[in-house]
Amino acid sequence: MLKGKPTEYGTGLIIYGDLYDLKSLYKTVSEISDYVGEENPDSDLYMSMAYSLRKSWEGNREEYDVGEPEYWDIKYRGFNIYWPDFILTLNLIRQRVGYLGTNPEMQANIYRLEQVGMEALREYDEVYGEKYVKWIIENKIMFGPYLLQILDEVRLNHLSEKNGKPRFKRLLQNMKPFILFSKEHSAMVKKLEKQAEKYKCKVEDLKYSGEIYDDLKYKW
């Protein structure tokens, strides 16, 4: 069974399962990525998740106890994903699946992914977690051209928050730039356009290096 739990410091979600869980979800995410095509920016999100799933079952990520005393000798494998990355990926993948028909395995995997994410949000903080579940259900993020650049900024803001509950409680505010026609979205686009002008490149070419996140000294 695919499982999930929040990381200790409100930074993200741990997704883990047995070999068959991970391979089945990998197949689903890869098929959606292939359907979307490399020309669409959200394809990178699905490819990133697929990569983490593959590395997990290969033993290059983390191992976790199943959690039940009678199964302590059984180890599940999985990976960490930042909350903004997970919520964005889940929101968009739910929309993509709606265009792909009713493949039972695909539908089951996405429903389960959604469920473990929502349970983990509520587990970390019942009140704020419920707010975020409602946000996921009620909001539809648009497939905009600056999607990955906005994610970079949102992720940076998320990781810049104080470790623990303060970071988790600021998640909804930090996610607002994803909502088209919001003032936060407009402000973010203007910021990105100024950065692109400064570096003499297209907005779509802007990308933070991994080191900028490491310098924040955040904890998972």
> Can you give 24-76 as a three-state secondary structure string?
HHHHHHHHHHHHHCCCCCHHHHHHHHHHHHHHHHCCCCEEEECCCHHHCCCEE
Amino acid at 209: S
Q: What pLDDT shows up at residue 68?
A: 60
Instruction: Give 153-187 pLDDT, tens digit per residue.
Output: 999 999 999 999 999 999 999 999 999 989 999 99
* Burial of residue 4, with CB atoms counted within 10 A of its CB: 0-12 exposed, 13-18 middle, 19 or more buried: buried
Phi, psi (deg, nearest 5) at residue 101: 90, -155
CA 155 to chain centre: 10
**Could you give the percent of the chain with pLDDT greater than 70?**
95
Please compute the mean of the pLDDT values over residues 28-37 and round it to a whole number: 92
When pLDDT is averaged across residues 95-112 and rounded to a whole number, the result is 85
The pLDDT of residue 66: 64
* pLDDT for the residue 189: 96
pLDDT at 61: 77
DSSP label of 58 = T
Which comes out higher in pLDDT, residue 185 or 66? 185
Is the model's pLDDT at 213 over the cut of 70? Answer: yes
Number of C-alpha atoms within 13 angstroms, CB side, residue 152? 19
pLDDT (mean) for 39-60: 92
pLDDT band, very low/low/confident/very high, at 73 (cuts 50, 70, 90): low
- pLDDT score for 29: 95
pLDDT at 70: 56
Distances (CA, A) of 49 to 31, 42, 176: 12, 11, 23
**According to the model, what pLDDT value does residue 1 have?**
83
pLDDT reported for residue 211: 84
- pLDDT tier at 204 (50, 70, 90 boundaries)? very high
Residue 164's pLDDT is 97
What average pLDDT score do residues 72-91 get? Answer: 89
Checking if the pLDDT of 69 tops 70, the result is: no
Q: Point out which residues pair with 173 in neighbouring strands.
A: none
Residue 14 pLDDT level (bands cut at 50, 70, 90): very high
User: pLDDT category, 146, cuts 50, 70, 90?
Assistant: very high
Report the pLDDT value the prediction gives residue 82, as an integer from 0 to 100.
98
